[in-house]
Amino acid sequence: MTEPSTARPRLPGLRPRDPGEEHRASTPLELFFDLCFVTAVAQVGARLVHAVGEGGYAHGLAGYAVVFFAIWWAWMNFTWFASAYDDDGPLYRVATLVQIAGALVFSAGIPRAFEEADFSVTVAGYVVMRLALCFQWLRAARGEDDAAARRTALRYAGGLLVVQAWWVLLLFLPDGLWWYGALLGIAADVAVPAVAERDRATAWHPEHIAERYGLFTLIVLGESVTAAALAVQASLDDEVALAHLLPVAAGGLLLVFAAFWIYFAAPIAEHLTSNRRAFLWGYGHYLIFASAAAIGAGLEVAVERIEHKAHIPALAAAAAVTVPAAVFVFMVWALHSRHSKRDAAEQAVLPVTAALLLACTFAGTWAVPAAGAVAVLAVVAGARLAGRDLAAG
């Protein structure tokens, strides 16, 4: 008589995707993941508006930088893993939904983290996200046939657990030491991929990664439009004079439209030909995403100043829009656009635009419409130069 088996079921592995796969596109689950992160982006943007509107510039910018880093880093960790290992199976979907639940917990803790420096809820949300992601990396290690690739997956899992343990430990440190510990934690977080992939890179897909970053850029820019629209709506309800409000609304809309055009003016996937290039490009998007979201927050601040809810100088209200717009334009050029430019004239358009956007800060109440006009002129100049090259070719 056969003895019943006592062996435990083995963890099902994840096989790596083909990095040369044709027509690789984002899945509905990935899009759902992105949309759930809109909640976190909206929360951190609202907190930035409140802090800047009250004159707490340093506190607002520091809090925004740290909390947005956490949002961006969680999104990036998921995105690059999915590019290499997404099989869209039931277990993969469940693990991703757990990560989404962690993101929602994280979002719920943003106001407390911003206003009271209480990061307990945000760290709890990260624990949920990280445990689910570590589970996925262990599945990837089991599914790899290559020993070096298996070590890469195990290093990811181990690195994420160690860094997350550090963030939990920080909750028990005195407040005066928290920021120093947070800087160390951020450095450790960004070092995990470099350490994990020192022997073997994961099988991420260049076209898929470029599409994923583009989609998240759209979501962040869309959140800026939403934030500005809500601010304008609130002002109209309070019967603020349209003569002061409409130029800000129009300038902000032109800024966001131009930001979209500038980002998607040239393809980038063919530039992501090595791990080093991809790392620099992917990490640099922290500033692109953060500045894109901050444009919407700045527009809210500008509107609140018009209706006398934000008691700050005109220069500060203008800078809340023009500075993130300039950072966005310059970083898109540095990471993205300059690789497709043919001559000095084309290369100069976006850096000069960034400088002119900063100069618009000193235009007083007309700073936002002036910035919108500068951004549109940059798009027109870039299109004309590109058309010249096509005609010459």
Residues 170-229 have pLDDT tens digits of: 999 887 788 889 899 999 999 999 999 988 889 899 999 999 999 999 989 988 888 767
Under DSSP, the state recorded for 56 is -
- Residue (of 376, 231, 223) closest to 302 by Cα position: 231
Per-residue pLDDT at 26 exceeds 50? yes
CA distance 280 to 115: 32
pLDDT band at 5; cut points 50, 70, 90: very low
| pLDDT tens per residue, range 356-374 | 999 999 998 899 999 999 9
Amino acid at position 21, single letter:
E
Amino acid at position 256, single letter:
V
- Choose between 252 and 340: higher pLDDT: 252
What pLDDT, on the 0 to 100 scale, is given for residue 377? 94
What pLDDT, on the 0 to 100 scale, is given for residue 321? 94
What pLDDT, on the 0 to 100 scale, is given for residue 311? 84
pLDDT band at 390; cut points 50, 70, 90: very low
SS3 200: coil
**Which segment, 54-63, 137-146, 343-352, is predicted with the most confidence on average?**
137-146
- Residue (of 33, 38, 79) closest to 193 by Cα position: 79
| pLDDT tens per residue, range 315-328 | 999 999 999 999 99
Could you tell me the domains of the chain?
28-196 (no CATH), 206-392 (1.20.1410)
| pLDDT tens per residue, range 234-250 | 666 655 556 777 888 88
Show Cβ contacts of residue 158 under 8 Å, excluding neighbours closer than 6 positions.
none
CA distance 388 to 393: 9
What pLDDT, on the 0 to 100 scale, is given for residue 1? 43
Q: What angle do CA 122, 128, 133 make, to 5 degrees?
A: 120
Burial of 190 (C-beta count, 10 Å sphere; 0-12/13-18/19+): middle
CA distance 22 to 25: 9
Q: Where are the alpha helices (DSSP H) in the chain?
A: 28-53, 57-85, 90-108, 110-116, 120-143, 147-170, 175-196, 206-237, 242-263, 275-306, 314-335, 344-359, 367-392
Mean pLDDT, the chain, rounded, equals 87
Do 293 and 224 form a contact (C-beta atoms < 8 A)?
Answer: yes
